[in-house]
Amino acid sequence: EVQLVESGGGLVQPGGSLRLSCAASEFTFSKYWMGWVRQAPGKGLEWVASTKQDETEKYYVDSAKGRFTISRDNARNSLYLQMNSLRAEDTAVYYCVRDWMVGTFDYWGQGIVVTVSS
């Protein structure tokens, strides 16, 4: 069974940085686009970023551009999200997702909580 396990979340002050990791298993990681989707408390889903298999294409929601960087290590079957200049509105559960058809998310991690607060 496909597994996606996020780590690296927690409490950070406004303006701070955090790096999320996602460990993937039970599928050929290097063959899939991957992405991050977040959900603020009590709110809906918001796509954050996606990366092509070889990182030659990366896309971000406008609010993440210039602050967040998505990356991957195919040798380690891992996906990352480097988040800088964090704001209160970045507080959310962040989900690692397997992007099956360039924008169709067929597997989701359990989510990791990021809280931006002083």
The count of C-alpha atoms lying within 13 angstroms of the C-alpha of 4, restricted to the half-sphere facing its C-beta, is 26
Cβ-Cβ contacts under 8 Å for 117 (sequence gap 6 or more): 11, 13, 14, 88, 91
Q: Which of residues 80-109 bind other proteins (CB under 8 A)?
A: 95, 100-106, 108-109
The answer to whether the beta carbons of residues 92 and 83 sit under 8 Å apart is no
Q: How far is the CB of 83 from other proteins (least distance, A)?
A: 17
Which lies closer to other proteins via its Cβ, residue 13 or residue 25? 25
Strands 10-12 vs 112-116: parallel, antiparallel or unpaired: parallel
The answer to whether the beta carbons of residues 117 and 97 sit under 8 Å apart is no
Which lies closer to other proteins via its Cβ, residue 4 or residue 83? 4
Which lies closer to other proteins via its Cβ, residue 64 or residue 83? 64
Which lies closer to other proteins via its Cβ, residue 15 or residue 101? 101
56 token code pair? 């030659």
The amino acid that residue 93 corresponds to is: V
**Is 46 an interacting residue with respect to other proteins (CB under 8 A)?**
yes
**Is 8 an interacting residue with respect to other proteins (CB under 8 A)?**
no
- Residues binding other proteins (CB under 8 A): 37, 44-47, 50, 59-62, 95, 100-106, 108-111
